[in-house]
């Protein structure tokens, strides 16, 4: 409901913005080319921003992404840059504090053409509306459906609801969960968990399953009570929209209680270090991951290989994980948007937003599913996700099984 209203006003605003930027260019073109430029773009350089968490709870993963991002743009610059300009990344630390994120955005906005990332749910939620008013592109902010309503946001792959719907489809189609049975949905309070729950509920209705929902917070590190309740309800599978700690606890307790059922986690719910915990056996037996971005170990994807090589040379001893392809593909998406803006002669913030929304093909060489479509504001750019299984043999602990786009995921619609 909220989304629909949002999307409508946004569409109007976007039209107005687009009109604005074409009729009244914000800055003079310079140099020898005939490109209109604006904030963050000079004759010789382009500045992009990254507001991330280098001192808060997500500092470690964020550091991996910053390293990969820097390496990516260094390589772009070595190959001649974009629009004959070198790209500089301005990295700022919000420490997972929304207030600080807003302050940083305000001071950064006049000097950048786009933001490759605003890490974190509450932080990006604070920045997105401001950036939308300013017409500034914002890349990675997670996969919550609420971000889809922003015209200026480019979601890296399928939203959480699509992941969850696919998880339910996959259970029915591949993991022998029979029609009429119950499945558990354990989810974080907030946009991420709420979106996943919506997707799972939609799919459960489509596939004739009962949902047993359990809401938790990130403080819940012991899921005994939840696991007991799920076992009591005799669930045939569990969709988990939480973090690695919760995955390990849930898998361990369910297995200890003899509930040998598949657990499918959303995007950030797996971490290779879980394989050193006592829950490792349970994870290897039952844990799956449904991700928007390809897992680290994907020999078939040239993009993932490039991402991993880049990271290996930039940080030979760095921790490997899903952040590597994610950071790579976020940079890749922004690069394609910048190139599109350059081609259409409008290298302003608005031009960058218009470029990725123009409906043209986006190719990430297998890091994201093919056929991404960013032309419709408010809907997931794809219904396809990556399915992996926890494995000791795969690098970073996830072995890619398949790419799927289930019937429930395809029939899911935001605001519908």
Partner 1 sequence: MSYFLEQVLNGLSYGLVLSLIAAGFAIVFTSTGVLNFAHGSIVLLGAYLVAVLHDTIGFWPAVLVGLLGAAVVGVLINMLLVRHLADPNPGTAAILMLGVDIVLLTELTRRIGNQVLTLGAPWGASVVRLGDVTLPTGRVLAAGVTVVAFAGLWYLFSRTDLGVGMRAAAADGPTASLMGIRLSRTAATGWALAGILAAVAGIFLTSFPAPGVAPTVALSAFAAIPAWVLGGFDSVPGAVVGGLLIGLTSALVTGYEAELEPFLGAGFGEVAPYVVMIVVLLVRPSGLMGSKEAVRV
Residue ranges binding partner 1 (CB under 8 A)? 55-61, 63-64, 189, 212-229, 232-233, 243-245, 247-249, 252-253, 255-258, 271, 273-274, 276-279, 281-282, 319, 321, 323
Tell me whether residue 53 or residue 332 sits nearer to partner 1 (CB atom): 53
Region of 111 please: left (phi>0), alpha (psi -120 to 50) or beta: alpha
- Please report how close the Cβ of residue 46 comes to partner 1 at its closest, in angstroms: 30
Q: Report strand pairing: 137-140 vs 182-188.
A: unpaired
Nearer to partner 1, 243 or 342 (CB): 243
Do 379 and 414 touch, CB atoms closer than 8 A? yes
42 or 189: CB nearest partner 1: 189
Min dist CB 212 to partner 1, Å, is: 6
Q: How far is CA 206 from CA 172, 275, 412, in A?
A: 11, 34, 10
Name the 3-class secondary structure at 169.
helix
Return d(Cα 87, Cα 112) in angstroms, integer. Answer: 11
Q: Which residues of 40-67 are buried (b: 16+ CB within 10 A; e: fewer)?
A: bbeeeebbbbbbbbbebebeebbbbbbb
> 269 vs 364, which CB is nearer to partner 1?
269
What is the rounded CA–CA span in Å between residue 334 and residue 127?
18
Positive or negative torsion for Cα 28, 34, 40, 43: negative
CB of 223 to partner 1, least distance (A): 7
- Paired strand residues for 403: 386
Cα separation of the two ends of the chain: 8
Q: Closer CB to partner 1, residue 248 or residue 353?
A: 248
Minimum distance from CB of 244 to partner 1 (Å)? Answer: 5
Beta strands in 8-72 (DSSP E): 36-37, 45-52
CB of 247 to partner 1, least distance (A): 8
CB of 271 to partner 1, least distance (A): 6
Closest CB 180 distance from partner 1, rounded Å: 17
Environment class of residue 90 by beta-carbon count within 10 Å: exposed (0-12), middle (13-18) or buried (19+)? middle
Nearest distance from residue 240's CB to partner 1, in Å? Answer: 13
Closer to partner 1 by CB, 58 or 72: give it.
58
CA distance 104 to 98: 10
* 121-134 vs 191-207: helix crossing angle, rounded to 10: 100
Nearer Cβ to partner 1 (314/401): 314
Which residue, 215 or 365, has its beta carbon nearer to partner 1?
215
CA atoms within 13 A on the CB side of 234: 4
Nearer to partner 1, 281 or 370 (CB): 281
CB of 155 to partner 1, least distance (A): 22
Beta carbons of 368 and 294 less than 8 angstroms apart: yes
């Amino acid at each position: 409901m909220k989304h629909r209203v949002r999307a409508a006003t946004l569409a109007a605003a976007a039209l107005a913005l687009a009109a604005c930027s074409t009729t009244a260019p914000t800055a003079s073109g310079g140099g020898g080319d005939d490109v209109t430029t604006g904030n963050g773009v000079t004759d010789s350089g382009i500045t992009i921003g990254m507001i991330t968490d280098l001192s808060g709870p997500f500092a470690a993963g964020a550091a991996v992404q910053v390293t990969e991002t820097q390496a990516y743009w260094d390589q772009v610059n070595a190959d001649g840059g974009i629009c004959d300009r070198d790209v500089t990344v301005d990295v700022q630390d919000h420490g997972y504090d929304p207030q600080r994120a807003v302050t940083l955005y305000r001071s950064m906005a006049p000097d950048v053409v786009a933001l490759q990332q605003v890490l974190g749910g509450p932080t990006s939620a604070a920045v997105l509306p401001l950036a939308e008013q300013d017409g500034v592109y914002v890349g990675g902010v997670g996969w919550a459906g609420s971000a889809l309503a922003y015209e200026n946001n480019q979601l890296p792959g399928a939203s959480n609801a699509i992941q969850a719907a696919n998880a339910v489809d996959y259970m029915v189609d591949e993991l022998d969960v029979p029609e009429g049975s119950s499945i558990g949905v354990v989810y974080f309070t907030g946009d991420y968990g709420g979106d996943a729950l919506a997707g799972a509920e939609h799919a459960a209705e489509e596939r004739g399953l009962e949902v047993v929902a359990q809401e938790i917070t990130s403080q819940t590190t012991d899921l005994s009570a939840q696991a007991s309740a799920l076992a009591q309800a005799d669930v045939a599978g569990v969709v988990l929209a939480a973090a690695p700690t919760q995955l390990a606890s849930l898998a361990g307790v369910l297995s200890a209680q003899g509930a040998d059922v598949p657990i499918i986690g959303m995007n950030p719910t797996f971490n290779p270090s879980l394989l050193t915990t006592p829950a490792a056996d349970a994870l290897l037996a039952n844990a799956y991951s449904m991700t928007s971005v390809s897992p680290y170990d994907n020999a078939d994807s040239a993009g993932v290989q490039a991402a991993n090589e880049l990271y290996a040379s930039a940080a030979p001893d760095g921790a490997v994980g899903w952040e590597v392809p994610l950071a790579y593909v976020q940079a890749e998406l922004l690069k394609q948007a910048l190139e599109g803006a350059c081609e259409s002669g409008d290298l302003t913030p608005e031009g960058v937003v218009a470029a990725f929304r123009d409906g043209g093909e986006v190719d990430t060489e297998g890091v994201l599913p093919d056929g991404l479509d960013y032309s419709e504001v408010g809907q997931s750019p794809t219904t396809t996700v990556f399915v992996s299984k926890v494995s000791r043999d795969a690098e970073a602990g996830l072995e890619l099984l398949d790419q799927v786009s289930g019937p429930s995921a395809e029939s899911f619609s935001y605001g519908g």
